[in-house]
Chain A
Amino acid sequence: MARALGRALVRRGKPYSFPLLSPPSSAHLCTEGDGFQSSRVNIFDRDLKRKQRDRAAWLMRGKDEFVDSVAENLLDRLQDCRKAFPTALCLGGSLEAIRRLLHGRGGMEKLIMMDMSFDMIKVLKDTDEKFARNNLETFYVVGDEEFLPIKENSLDLVISCLGLHWTNDLPGAMIQARLALRPDGLFLAAILGGETLKELRIACTIAQMEREGGISPRLSPLAQVRDAGNLLTRAGFTLPGVDVDEYTVKYDSALELIEHLRSMGETNALFQRSNILKKDTALATAAVYQSMFGGEDGTVPATFQVIYMTGWKEHPSQQKAKRRGSATASFGDIQKHFGRGGC
């Protein structure tokens, strides 16, 4: 319900302010022209997300089991490919886990780490020596997934672990990733899916209805599994693959869940969010959460649905469906051939 409201309200959202590009001097910039701005729906406050990621850089604990298992699952896919990926780009989200768990997989020689938050990149760069490998050069860049600063046809792998669900224009970001890839390059992404934090959604809605007599979107709209396949096809990736994993993380209390979300930089960054959170509503939410979903052992579970997307940039060596009407045998003949001895 909160999600539906979020989507309905977004249309009236204020346009993305862009102080850098004042209209008269920047009319030639195609990305944020006036006409373009009105047609573009901005759901997430990217500035706020950037700040939240700054905060996450400070809150980040060394090890996070949920993030680690997602990163491990994502990196495991590299071992399924016989190809090596000499130049790789690692996009936002849990960069730290990716770097820590990489263990030389994928045959990378050059790895570019990109995140929106300077603090995050700084923290990673400062701890670089620990993970330095002889044959791996690592570079750090602050950049926005929506405006990918990467030259066309220059990468072999784009990997994004839990970051792309915060982009306003996910298809656009994926198209840019595809353009940056060389032919036969791989795009690997993990995003949070619609089932994520369903318990918290319910608890927030009930508590807000009860205390404030209305609801405001506290959780962001997330992609559904069926959208993920469409996204890959729309972005022009070949051999698209989507699979879903659900993780249940147990916390001692709902407040601990919020702490965890903060350390991951996954807290609310909707434009239409309510800036005020009353203390009693927050406590009521925690209480509702505990009473509705709390286990017998006193822990509260939280569901995280992670959608893994795999796509390749087109290359002549990849298998494709044959053109329509190009068959040389008819199904009638096949049936005659096999039908005789059959059942």
Chain B
Amino acid sequence: MVRVSRVLLFKDGGGGGGNSLLKVLSEILVCPLSKQPLRYCQDSRSLVSDAVGVSFPVIPCLAGAEESEIASAENPLGGKAFSATQELQIVNGIPCLVPKDGKLLEDQFKLKVDDSCIAKSES
């Protein structure tokens, strides 16, 4: 699983100079608790440590210029631009790797367990 995520990271981080965070992430940053590699989760915009099941937020950091970009991107025609701006946010985000900022991923596990329980009871 970790290997797959690394491949993804390199794929994501292989482009121009903009995705510096992902590059550094794959080179230097690790989970503060387990010291295992982190995986970037596109959906939740967070860094996930699979070893301990904790996700750390990446807080988007917006400078003035980028904010105006977002405003312009929010019109219905600019769907594509919006996704690009979102990308920019992550790229310039600040990863918060203090253990207290992390969220346990148990909710997701719970959901899965609940689903399987329901499936069992139904059958």
Contact = CB atoms under 8 A, between A and B. Distances in A.
Given A28-B52, A147-B32, A141 B104 contact: no
A125 B96 CA distance: 14
Contact of B63 (A25, A126, A139, A144): A126
A148 interface: yes
A140 B95 CA distance: 8
B24 A151 contact: no
Contact of B106 (A25, A126, A154): A25
Interface string B44-56: 0000000010100
Contact of B28 (A28, A147, A151): A151
Contacts of B96: 118, 142-143
Nearest to A128: B63
Q: Which of A19, A112, A126, A151: most chain B Cβ within 10 A?
A: A151
Contacts of A25: 104, 106
B69 interface: no
Contacts of B97: 141-144, 147, 149
Nearest to B110: A25
A139 B21 contact: yes
A50 B96 CA distance: 13
Interface in A109-150: 110, 112, 116, 118, 121-122, 125-126, 137, 139-144, 147-150
Interface in A1-58: 18-22, 25-26, 28-29, 31-32, 47, 50
A18 B104 CA distance: 12
A126 B100 CA distance: 24
Interface of B is mostly: mixed
A240 B15 CA distance: 42
Contact of A152 (B34, B35, B92, B94): B35
B95 A31 contact: no
A200 interface: no
A150 B102 contact: no
B59 A118 contact: yes
Interface size class of A (residues with CB under 8 A): 35 or more
Given A21-B104, A29-B52, A126-B63, A154 B20 contact: no
A116 B98 contact: yes
Interface string B97-123: 111111110100000000000000000
Interface in A147-179: 147-152, 154-155
A121 B95 CA distance: 10
A20 B100 contact: yes
Contacts of A20: 54, 99-100, 102-104
Given A148-B32, A150-B28, 15 more contacts: A20-B99, A25-B104, A26-B104, A29-B52, A31-B99, A110-B24, A118-B94, A126-B61, A139-B20, A141-B29, A141-B95, A142-B97, A149-B30, A150-B29, A151-B37
30 contacts: A18-B99, A21-B104, A25-B104, A25-B106, A26-B104, A28-B52, A29-B34, A32-B99, A50-B98, A87-B28, A116-B98, A118-B94, A125-B92, A126-B61, A139-B24, A141-B29, A142-B59, A142-B95, A142-B96, A142-B97, A143-B97, A144-B97, A147-B97, A147-B99, A149-B29, A150-B29, A151-B29, A151-B35, A152-B35, A154-B28
